[in-house]
Each structure stands twice: as structure tokens, then as C-alpha cells.
Amino acid sequence: MLGADPARRPVIVGVHATEQALSLPGRTAHDLALEAALGAIRDAGLDPSDVDGAQLDWSGPGGAPGEGASWARMLNDLAWTSDSFLDNAGVRGLLKACAAIASGLVDTVVVGGCRLVSRGADNSPVGAGLPMEFADVWGSYVVAQFALVAARHMHLFGTTSHQLARVAATIRNNGTTNPEAMMFRRGPYTVQDVLASRMIATPFHLLDCCIVGEGGAAFVVTTAQRARDLPQPPVAVLAGAMEYHRVAYADPPIYDEVGQIGRKAAARVFGRAGVGVQDVDVFSLYDANSFEVIRQLEALGLCDEGEGGPLVDSGAIELGGKHPVNPDGGCLAHAWNGTQQLSLRVIEAVRQLRGTAVHQIPQARLAAVANAGSGAQHYELALLGAL
Amino acid sequence: MTARPVPLPTSLSAPFWEATRRGQLMIPHCARCDRWFFTPELACPGCLERDWTYREVRGTGTVYSVTVVHRAPSPGFDPPFALAIIELDEGAMMLSHVVGVPPEEVRIGQRVRVRMRELTAQITLPEFEIAPPKA
């Protein structure tokens, strides 16, 4: 477990996801962030005055937009804040909170909020319009950058569009039967449905890509000692690691560098945790697109490089499979909402380990949760465990 | 946003764009560790040497990866187009388009060579076209 002092080992004790939808016109990012933070604190059985750390998005109005210390006015006596948007979400946010807690800088941190990216002036895809001198002039954007990694993988290993579509159909069908998912009741989908949807950037069809919408999420991390008298069964953060390469979306993702991103993080995580990836009961992975799941099966060590497609063909990632992935519907069908979909991946893992997930994997004791991937050129991995 | 984005040269990139206007492809090269790199950075990504220089490359290379973009990120593009990572023969990798053939015919491993296209009075883009296989 993380941390030398058993009393200070970090555990997750509260989670909250707001409504997730293609559009929430009646709500603001700030309103959703406040709901997420207070909801997670309430779920933990805590009062806002019990929180002394905030890694939360602050978009205003009020305060200083982008400056996390603005939360000090609402959450009194803060000892720990964070400004960077990716430090306020998901596994990166979790691991930074864990480091701060284990070292004694702070006791109880709420991580999350809401950061909407889908409300642009036009309907351009995510990542378009950012001034990236050597990328945007070529019409490059997030989906296309991930596609450049997938295309190279298919060239090297014979991975097929059918295998990508099987990932998409499997995870989308998990979302189809999850009432919290943006794509609830939109399916079911077959592999043929995915292959018949319009092409976005080869090899990705529309249904190979995640669903972009709006929503917030947050979770609370505290010490094992503090968790003893709290109502929820604590979820331990057993190990974690992060991995970084080039500048996301500005530099092209080179397969030789990022095609197996996550391998170093996995070696560190499983080396420290004393368990193997084959021991993990459920995976909550970043499925920005269908290919990223195939790639992660390899990088995490569930199979050799190039064998991710055949592993998907075997049914391994399905709810009843050997390595179930994203029972909630993931980014493909539950939500991709800006940055807090990263926190939704953590929340699904926590719910699985509490035994309260919508699509509960029986006797789940170990969960791997990961954020971002090859096109993003960064990767964050945590191993969570039921105590 | 309606037009294709136009690069705004910086102190790092101005020599690159001045070269393409002259019809030359020039790429950062670090003499200290003999490394070609792209995109330009203040210091060489290999050895952190700040005293690297732009040097002209042959303009030939290989398609490292390619995606046919059907949904362009903004108006100003004419999809579908072949967005590719080009591995220059000197070793650096750069994003560009492969033009002159239907985009779905562009394949990983194909030989390409640079072809300049004037985008604005200030900016000339280094695109690539299919070249004969390497002798």
C-alpha cells in the first residue's frame, strides 16, 4: 500500500457523479462542480468542514477562475489546493492527493469538479481550435492523433476493424443498460452497427469514438485511520504510477514511443503491489476510442504486444469475461465530459469494490483504473483494493 | 472558425517557415549529439543543447502512419484527406498531408518526397507526394 505509516495510508471514502448528458443547458460547470464536491463529501459521511484539501475545478463566476484556492472561501481551513485541470481529476488527481496525505501535508482531500469543453462557439470536435502550430494546420485533432497510433498497430500486428468494433459494441452495450449512462437505452449495438457508422478518421467509425457531453464528478480521499468511523467501506489505493512522453496533440504520437504507453506504469504498480495484472478482477480503463482498450490490454501485460485484438475476440473484456472492462459503459457510452470522465473511471472502480456497481462483477476485490493513453502521450494507473 | 488555421511563426519556428517559402525543408539539428528533431524546442530533446541549428534535409522519407480524415476539425479543409506522420530519411518525424493520390491509397511504408504549397503570402506548407521506391 502507499505510504510507510499504516494509519496514514490513503483510502477512497466518498464518490459522487452528477447527471451526465449530451447537453445540460440549465446548468453551469461551477454548479456541477459544487454538486460533485458536496455530493462526494456527503457520501463519505463527512461535513465540508472536515475537508482540508481541495483539488477541485473552479470555473466561476466568483473567485478567480482556474485558481483552485478559490475554494478556500467555501471549504474553510484548506491546507492543500491545486490549479491544473488534470491534477483535479481521475487517477492523476488521486495519486497526487495520496502522496500529500501519506506524507502528512493534508488529511482529507476532495478531488474532481467539472470542466466543460463541449460548449464552444461552434460544433467543432474536441481539441479543434487550440493553437498548435505544427498540428492544426494539417487538420489534426484528438481523434485523428489516436487514429495514427491505431493505424500503425493494425499495420504491424494485423489488428482488424472488426476487433475494434467488438470493443466498441461490448462497452457501448454495458452503457445501454446503465441508467446513469448518456447512451442509456440507445443500443444494443452489434459489431456490424459499429462498422456501418460513418467514418470519422480511419480506422475509427463514429461508434468507435467516445461520446462527448457534460457532467461533473468527485471523490474523497482520506487516511485509513480517519476512515475507520466513516460509513462507507474504504477502498485502498494499493499502488500507482504515471508516465509521460511528448506534448499531447501538438507532437504526433509515434507508435514506437507511445504505442505501449502504460507498460512502465504497470511494471511499477504491479511490482510494488505484490500482485499480478492477472489477479485484477475488473478494469476501469480510458476508452477514448475502441482501439485504446486493445492497446491497454497489451501494455498492462494481460497479453503480448499485438495480441490485444485476439484477446478481445475471445470475449475477455465482456461482463462475464476473464478481464471485464468498463462495466458502466466507459467513455464510449457512459460519459466523456471534458476532464471529469477521468474521475468517473475512478468512481466506477470504487463502486465495483464496494459491491454497488450497476453491472457488478461478482466478488470484485481488485480493480485497475487508468486514464488517458497513446494519443494523449500520458498515462496514469492505480490499483485499488477492497479492504 | 471558418478558414484553415494558419501557423503563427514564433522565435523558434520562424526559420522553418522562411525556408519553406524559399522551397527548402529545414529541420532542427543538434551537432552535439547528431540528432535531427521536430517540432523545434528551445533545447535539443536528446541532450538539452541550446545551440542547435536548422539544416536543410533531402525532403524524402517514408509514411510512418496515416489516417484518412473524413471529419475535418474545422471548415477550410477538404475531406477526406490523408493525414500522415512522415519519417524523414534523416530521422525526424513530422505531421503532414500526403497529396496527389486518393487518400485511401496512401499506405504505411510508402516512399514520399516533399512538395511545397503556398497557403498564404507568408506561409508555405511542406506537403508530401508519393515517390518512387527507394533504390
Using CA atoms, how far apart are residues A126 and A337, in angstroms rounded to an integer? 10
Q: Do A137 and B6 touch (CB under 8 A)?
A: yes
Using CA atoms, how far apart are residues A287 and A207, in angstroms rounded to an integer? 12
- Mutation target to probe the B interface, by most B beta carbons within 10 A, among A133, A143, A200 is A133
ipTM metric: 0.96
Q: Residue A264: inside a domain, yes or no?
A: no
Mean of the pLDDT values across residues B117-122? 95
Q: Residue A113: inside a domain, yes or no?
A: yes
Q: Do B96 and A200 touch (CB under 8 A)?
A: no
Q: Do A144 and B85 touch (CB under 8 A)?
A: no
The answer to whether residues A164 and A151 touch, using CB atoms and an 8 Å cutoff, is no
pTM over 0.90: yes
pLDDT at A154: 98
pLDDT at A226: 97
Question: In Å, how far are A14, A218, A220, B15 from A4, measured between CA atoms?
Answer: 23, 26, 21, 53
Q: Residue A64: inside a domain, yes or no?
A: yes
pLDDT class of B1 with cuts at 50, 70, 90:
very low
Judging contacts by C-beta atoms under 8 Å, the chain A residues touching residue B69 are 139, 144, 200-201
Within 10 A of A144 (CB to CB), how many other CB atoms are there?
29
A149: nearest CA partner in chain B = B65
**Which residue segment(s) compose the domain that B29 sits in?**
14-130
Within 13 Å and on the Cβ side, how many CA atoms surround A72?
12
For residue A145 the three cell numbers come to 492523433
Using CA atoms, how far apart are residues A349 and A238, in angstroms rounded to an integer? 13
**Which residue segment(s) compose the domain that A218 sits in?**
6-120+213-227
Q: Residue B3: inside a domain, yes or no?
A: no
Using CA atoms, how far apart are residues A38 and A35, in angstroms rounded to an integer? 5
pLDDT at A4: 81
For residue A87, which of A115, A108, A56, A110 has the smallest C-alpha distance?
A: A56
A301 phi-psi bin (left φ>0, alpha ψ -120 to 50, beta other): left
Q: Please give, rounded to a whole number of angstroms, the shortest distance from the CA of A226 to a CA of chain B.
A: 45
Judging contacts by C-beta atoms under 8 Å, the chain A residues touching residue B94 are 134, 252
A152: nearest CA partner in chain B = B65
B57-115 confidence digits (pLDDT tens): 999 999 999 999 999 988 899 999 999 999 999 999 999 999 999 999 999 999 999 99
Tell whether A120 lies on the interface with B, counting CB pairs under 8 A: no
Domain tally, chain B? 1
pLDDT at B114: 98
Q: Residue B59: inside a domain, yes or no?
A: yes
Domain tally, chain A? 1
pLDDT at A126: 60
Q: Out of A133, A202, A203, name the one closest to residue B8 (CB).
A: A133
Within 10 A of A274 (CB to CB), how many other CB atoms are there?
10
Q: Residue A283: inside a domain, yes or no?
A: no
For B3, counting Cβ atoms within 10 Å of its Cβ (0-12 exposed, 13-18 middle, 19+ buried), the class is exposed
Contacts of A163 (CB under 8 A, 6+ apart): A294, A308, A309, A310, A312, A313
Q: Residue A53: inside a domain, yes or no?
A: yes
Q: Do B85 and A147 touch (CB under 8 A)?
A: no
* Coil, strand or helix at A319: coil
Q: Residue B4: inside a domain, yes or no?
A: no
Low-confidence residues of chain A: pLDDT under 50:
121-123
Quickly list H helices, chain A.
Answer: 29-43, 90-102, 142-157, 161-176, 191-196, 224-227, 255-258, 263-273, 290-299, 308-313, 341-354
Q: Residue B135: inside a domain, yes or no?
A: no
Whose cell is 481541495? That residue is A54
The answer to whether residues B84 and B107 touch, using CB atoms and an 8 Å cutoff, is no
Using CA atoms, how far apart are residues A319 and A22, in angstroms rounded to an integer? 25
The H or E element containing residue B18 is helix B14-21
Q: Residue B1: inside a domain, yes or no?
A: no
Cα first-last separation, chain B: 44
Residue A34 β-bridge partners: none
- Mutation target to probe the B interface, by most B beta carbons within 10 A, among A123, A126, A137, A149 is A137
pLDDT at A122: 47
Encode A62-98: b = buried (16+ Cβ within 10 Å), e = exposed. Answer: ebeeeebebbeebbeebebbbeebbbbbbbbbbbbbb
pLDDT at B132: 86
Q: Residue A270: inside a domain, yes or no?
A: no
Q: Do A152 and B65 touch (CB under 8 A)?
A: yes
Tell whether A179 lies on the interface with B, counting CB pairs under 8 A: no
For residue A330 the three cell numbers come to 466507459
Q: Beta strands of A20-117 (E only): which ranges? A: 53-56, 80-81, 109-113
Tell whether A117 lies on the interface with B, counting CB pairs under 8 A: no
pLDDT at A128: 55
Judging contacts by C-beta atoms under 8 Å, the chain A residues touching residue B79 are 139
Peptide bond just before B80 cis, omega within 30 deg: yes
pLDDT at A121: 44
Within 10 A of B15 (CB to CB), how many other CB atoms are there?
15
pLDDT at A130: 58
For residue A165, which of A193, A186, A129, A140 has the smallest C-alpha distance?
A: A193
